[in-house]
Structure 1
Amino acid sequence: MNQRFSAAMFALLTVTAVSGDAADLVLRNASIVTADSDFRIVEAMAVEQGRIAAVGSSEEIDRLVDGQTEVVDLQGQMVLPGLIDSHVHPSGASRYEADHEIPTMDSIDDVLDYVRARTRVVPKGQWITLSQVFLTRLREQRFPTRAELDAAAPDHPVWFRTGPDGSANSLALAENGIDREFAAEHPRHVMTDPKTGEPTGVIRQSSEVFKTRPAPDTNGPGQAELDQRLLDLLQDYRRWGITGVIDRNCDDAARAQYGRLLQADQLPIRVRLSRSLNASGSEQQIREQLDAISADPLFQNPQPRLGVIGVKVFEDGGMLTGSAYFSEPWGTSRIYGIVDPRYRGMQFIDEQRLENLVRPTVQRGLAFTAHCQGDAAVEALVRVYRRVNEDMPIAPTHSTITHSSFMSREAIDGAAALGIGVDLQPAWLYLDARTLVAQFGQRRLEYFIPLQSLFQAGVIAGGGSDHMQKIGSMRSVNPYNPFLGMWVAVTRKARWHDSAIHREQALDRQQMIRFYTINNAWLMRAEEELGSLEVGKRADFVVIDRDLLRCDDDAIAQTQVRSTWMDGRKVFDTAD
């Protein structure tokens, strides 16, 4: 049965029949945030067959209790809809430390200490790679230099990768044939010393010109171990009240991994997939990819715990690495290793090709999204959406802009008019804004993660983490603790920085909760089933230890989950 139909029918049947039927579960004496259109706060809630049967006062809901009903007196504790993260990469994140633990790195010395430690383990001549230690989060605010990496590992090629860009040592450059002559032929990709023309070691859009060499085959983790690591991570999400996520770049291997967990009845949360789309293929290859994705049974008939929503491509580089595509030049930069004053970043897909990707995606009813960090990349995607929308409506597909870190007033208004969503990562403001202020100044950050402007315009904006590495809500690269994200959305505070970043873009408390609940349910294409505590919807909810509508701002980030429930069943409890 269609999920939207089943939820609507359940609501109708429940409204007409609930007064005479006992519930399976009743919460009473609580502060239940419905996150519905009126944002009601109620005392009690009844659950029947995994769905919400009624909400109201404790006296009203007590009429639905009989001897078989489980009654939970919450003694005034707050209940939220199950939290949703709009942007994660769980399969890769769970594998990240399968070989060895990788310490937190806050400085260049930390990076070099790690590289030196690996030289004592990795045989000479084999590659040492380190992924996603962002230079914006290092106290020195720069890439490790070629010379520093040479000194730390004179006998190993080294690659310090931060998304599409990175820094290499001399052996790594030599193995790729990157010298002064090569650099002169590839100025977009290979950064050079302006005085000597020698490569500095910094490579932009590295996949175009730079390859690493895998280590010889070893007895690495097998499929069963990798599946268990993914299961462990998804269970840790529940510890933080997260009952649903969107995997924002799901390849075939990850799709198969989720499928195995689903088939074994072990998928612990609700997962929706934005499938990877290879944007560099021919038009025929693109159509074949889209046909295969749209024919997936998990798109045609999503399961409660797993479904496909659409596809994702990469429109530009990264703001954390120096390659996001801007309307104004980046400006020369010691931080990012930029020497060309005209440099505006890197656009990976030109606008016409972008339209040739969006149009067949929308024709198939799939949600399209593109990684867009800089304002020029965002504006290009909005223009493409507008042109496609002239021929077929975009809004029903729940297409989005991914990240949309830097926006403009025009892009916000365009997104609102088209009915497209935006998935943003507020923790980046906390972790990276110190560096961005130093690079761009306050003026260019006016529409950096512009949450209040998006909400005021009526754009459906959802909160995500872009969790990529490690298990652990605060030790992970890009922390997935949703309460940290909520705190940043309300305070706009940045680490190692004295003042809030454009406080006028902060959310109020109700918006903060919608940001991680009903808005993200829309991005999941599941707002009829999830995201608010309303009659007929699935009974996914979380009990927390404080009142998020009234506590001090700085207390938001310290919120602890007492219990997490899915389909009216407890799936995490601090007492366990």
Structure 2
Amino acid sequence: MKQADLILLNGKIATVDEQFSFVEAVAVVDGWIIDTGTTEEIKKYSNNQTKVIDLEGKVMLPGVHDAHMHGVHTGLSLSTHFLDVSFPKVQSIADLQAVIQAAVDQTPAGTWIMGMGWNEMLIKECAAENRTPKKWDLDPVSPDHPVVINDYGAHRMVVNSKALTVCGITAETPDLKLVEGQIERIEGTREPSGYLNEWGAQVLVWQHIPALTDEELESCILRMNSELNKYGITSHVDILGIGGNQLFCGAWGEKSIAIYERLAREKKLTARVSVNLLAGIDGIQSYQAIIEGLKQTKLPEFKDRNWVKAETVKIFGDGGGWLRADNQVVEDHSRSTFPGTTDEEQEAEIIKTIVEVHRQGWQLGIHAIGGRTIDTIIKGYIQAFQQYPRECPRHFVIHGDDMTLENARDAGKFGIGMSVQSIAAYTIMDFMKMRFEPARGESLFSWREYQEEGVNVANGSDSNIFSLNWLQGVQFAVTRTTINGNSYRPDLTSSLADAIRMYTINGAKQEHLENVRGSIEIGKVADFQVLDQDIFSIQPEKIGETNVLMTIVDGTVVYEK
């Protein structure tokens, strides 16, 4: 009988298999599960060389797969010089200025100051005046330092006057094409206000900020891995590629792909990664930019796709949301990120791009918040399947905030998945729902109904935008109660088992790796997490307070609280 390297005994182990069954113990050899069962059954695999962990009745689950996040960018945001200006830390312009002032006091003049997290609806002056932060909100405390602060969603930024000067953005700077983004002007003039929207506009700033070195990118990855492990996360997605080379100091760029692969070969990674390729050159989302970006993309040879792989193309279908024409609450229905002067022209460009990327053999994940975007990309996915049939590409919708049951039925029928973020709903649903009629707004994020229609719903954090605490996301899914204590349509809650599936086996399915990870079964990798509370017996409203005591990746303990 083969002796185990590691056995875990006396636990309440949720296998997340087809029946969502429980066992007491697990045996591991070379990072793979060789048996599960009772404590007595598994003890037979032990000898004096075996590491034995007594779970003492605690709950153990498969490691979490974060199905949508920005990994290197998360590592950058965890660095000491990156400013956090999110709520509740920043609730007023004075709060924002205080954070910047503290950085100015410790930073040599002329050095860039950067950060992320503002939400104009949660800054009292901005909410009262129906505006975003502007350069004059930053200038009083930063006359000698260029400052760039992204919003919580990363699509928008505000910079101060010093940054505009350094970047040469003036009244004479030509307006951008709609597909590139927006340089906002002060009303009645061409003077820039300091507010810029979308990637093409952001590149005008980021190209003047020193890019991260290879050593700094490696530090970001390792710092981020360590943080993931604290939350029981053992695998994740990252968004990287040629289209991100000039965004966020290169934290979205293609260099990190090769660094991930090198770190995996050196056995330094403590979380597996699936790279979604940001292919649109300079971040531009158009058929030409994306197809040309894919043509120029050069990937390393991946030694073990269970650790690092890049088989998916990430496209931004919209920014803040391309809403359906029947939305009666918000007058501005916005637009897609794709070129076109009409909705129909934009739709045609998106579908043309989907079909070609699919034809080339890639999996697709498309950012879609607004209903018009969701309608369009599902239509495009179906057209691609039917024009170029192939075995289960498992294209997916990222976010899918305004998904309808009709969308879900089509998605279920054609094997289209969703990559959602219930931690986002937990955090911001209170004001997101205001963009919709009350009945529609309160029924957003109905993941249980989508799953009942056959949609594979995987869950993640969208870090560094939202918290990595997946258990808070589970809490929202099973209660539909937000961070502010507001409950919406509790009849649409998910079961606890389904909420856990979204963070484990469903994420593995999104990656075409359900035979390798996502559940605790014989023949799968030994990626586990141990919790300090029994989430199967406590009140659902307490699940988010649960902590991870231990995280195991590939049969090795990588985190202990």
Same fold, TM exceeding 0.5? Answer: yes
> CA shift at 1:297, angstroms?
2.8
Q: Is the 8 A contact 1:452 1:505 kept in 2?
A: yes
Q: Is the 8 A contact 1:492 1:506 kept in 2?
A: yes
AA in 1 matched with 2:532: D
Structure 1 residue 378 corresponds to structure 2 residue 383: no
AA in 2 matched with 1:418: F
The C-alpha deviation readout for 1:507-542, integer Å capped at 9, x for no partner, is: 111011101110011122211100011111112111
**Inter-partner Cα distance in structure 2 for 1:489 and 1:315:** 25
> CA shift at 1:168, angstroms?
5.3
Instruction: Tell me which residue corresponds to 1:14.
Output: none
AA in 2 matched with 1:46: A
Q: Is the 8 A contact 2:71 2:224 kept in 1?
A: yes
Structure 1 residue 327 corresponds to structure 2 residue 324: yes
Q: Is the 8 A contact 1:131 1:161 kept in 2?
A: yes
Instruction: Tell me which residue corresponds to 2:132.
Output: 143
Select between 302-311 and 277-286 the one with higher mean Cα deviation.
Answer: 277-286
Percentage of matched positions with identical amino acids: 26
Structure 1 residue 273 corresponds to structure 2 residue 275: yes
Structure 1 residue 513 corresponds to structure 2 residue 500: yes
Q: Is the 8 A contact 1:77 1:543 kept in 2?
A: yes
Unaligned 5+ runs, structure 2: 242-252, 339-345
**Inter-partner Cα distance in structure 2 for 1:247 and 1:113:** 32
**Inter-partner Cα distance in structure 1 for 2:147 and 2:299:** 42
> CA shift at 1:291, angstroms?
5.3
Q: Secondary structure at the match of 1:377?
A: helix
Instruction: Tell me which residue corresponds to 2:470.
Output: 482
Instruction: Tell me which residue corresponds to 2:200.
Output: 207
AA in 1 matched with 2:18: S
Q: Is the 8 A contact 1:176 1:210 kept in 2?
A: no
Q: 1:70-81 counterparts in 2 under 5 A?
A: 70-81=51-62
Change beyond 3 A, Cα 1:153–1:328:
farther
Structure 1 residue 534 corresponds to structure 2 residue 521: yes
**Inter-partner Cα distance in structure 1 for 2:216 and 2:459:** 30
Structure 1 residue 248 corresponds to structure 2 residue 239: yes
> CA shift at 1:203, angstroms?
4.2
Q: 1:382-393 counterparts in 2 under 5 A?
A: 382-393=378-389
Change beyond 3 A, Cα 1:55–1:214:
closer
**Inter-partner Cα distance in structure 1 for 2:199 and 2:171:** 12
> CA shift at 1:554, angstroms?
2.5
Instruction: Tell me which residue corresponds to 1:454.
Output: 450
> CA shift at 1:35, angstroms?
0.4
Q: Secondary structure at the match of 2:205?
A: coil
Q: Is the 8 A contact 2:139 2:160 kept in 1?
A: yes
The C-alpha deviation readout for 1:103-154, integer Å capped at 9, x for no partner, is: 4533122212234445556777887654342334545645225553455556
**Inter-partner Cα distance in structure 1 for 2:517 and 2:108:** 51
Instruction: Tell me which residue corresponds to 1:556.
Output: 543
Q: Secondary structure at the match of 2:27?
A: strand
Q: 1:92-491 counterparts in 2 under 5 A?
A: 92-96=73-77, 98=79, 100-104=81-85, 105-108=89-92, 109-118=94-103, 129-138=114-123, 141=127, 143-145=132-134, 147-153=136-142, 159-162=148-151, 163-167=154-158, 175-178=168-171, 189=182, 202-205=195-198, 207-208=200-201, 211-212=204-205, 222-250=213-241, 251-278=253-280, 280=284, 286-287=290-291, 289-290=293-294, 296-298=300-302, 302-318=304-320, 324-328=321-325, 342-349=331-338, 350-393=346-389, 396-440=392-436, 442-468=438-464, 477-491=465-479
The C-alpha deviation readout for 1:208-248, integer Å capped at 9, x for no partner, is: 4983376686xx97533442342122022112211111113
Select between 198-207 and 48-57 the one with higher mean Cα deviation.
Answer: 198-207
> CA shift at 1:351, angstroms?
2.3
Instruction: Tell me which residue corresponds to 1:472.
Output: none
AA in 1 matched with 2:230: R
**Inter-partner Cα distance in structure 2 for 1:511 and 1:359:** 32
**Inter-partner Cα distance in structure 2 for 1:511 and 1:539:** 21
> CA shift at 1:437, angstroms?
3.6
Q: Secondary structure at the match of 2:204?
A: coil
Q: Is the 8 A contact 1:183 1:191 kept in 2?
A: no
- Aligned-residue CA RMSD in angstroms? 3.6
**Inter-partner Cα distance in structure 1 for 2:144 and 2:535:** 53
Q: Is the 8 A contact 1:246 1:524 kept in 2?
A: no
**Inter-partner Cα distance in structure 1 for 2:217 and 2:306:** 23
Give the alignment partner of residue 480 of structure 2, picking from 483, 492, 514: 492
Q: Is the 8 A contact 2:181 2:201 kept in 1?
A: no
Q: Is the 8 A contact 2:164 2:170 kept in 1?
A: yes
AA in 1 matched with 2:323: F
Q: Secondary structure at the match of 1:88?
A: coil
Q: Is the 8 A contact 1:106 1:139 kept in 2?
A: no
Select between 393-402 and 524-533 the one with higher mean Cα deviation.
Answer: 393-402
Change beyond 3 A, Cα 1:422–1:146:
same
Change beyond 3 A, Cα 1:525–1:292:
farther
The C-alpha deviation readout for 1:331-389, integer Å capped at 9, x for no partner, is: 78xxxxxxxx6411231122222233222332333211111111111111101001111
Instruction: Tell me which residue corresponds to 1:570.
Output: 557
**Inter-partner Cα distance in structure 2 for 1:23 and 1:125:** 58
Select between 348-357 and 534-543 the one with higher mean Cα deviation.
Answer: 348-357
Change beyond 3 A, Cα 1:200–1:183:
farther
Q: Secondary structure at the match of 2:227?
A: helix
Change beyond 3 A, Cα 1:439–1:169:
farther
Q: Is the 8 A contact 2:423 2:470 kept in 1?
A: no
- How many correspondences in the alignment? 529
The C-alpha deviation readout for 1:57-115, integer Å capped at 9, x for no partner, is: 23333444455444433221111011111112121221235462524533122212234
Instruction: Tell me which residue corresponds to 1:29.
Output: 10
> CA shift at 1:289, angstroms?
4.1
Q: 1:78-89 counterparts in 2 under 5 A?
A: 78-89=59-70
Q: Is the 8 A contact 1:83 1:516 kept in 2?
A: yes
**Inter-partner Cα distance in structure 1 for 2:448 and 2:454:** 10
**Inter-partner Cα distance in structure 2 for 1:535 and 1:185:** 52
> CA shift at 1:31, angstroms?
1.0
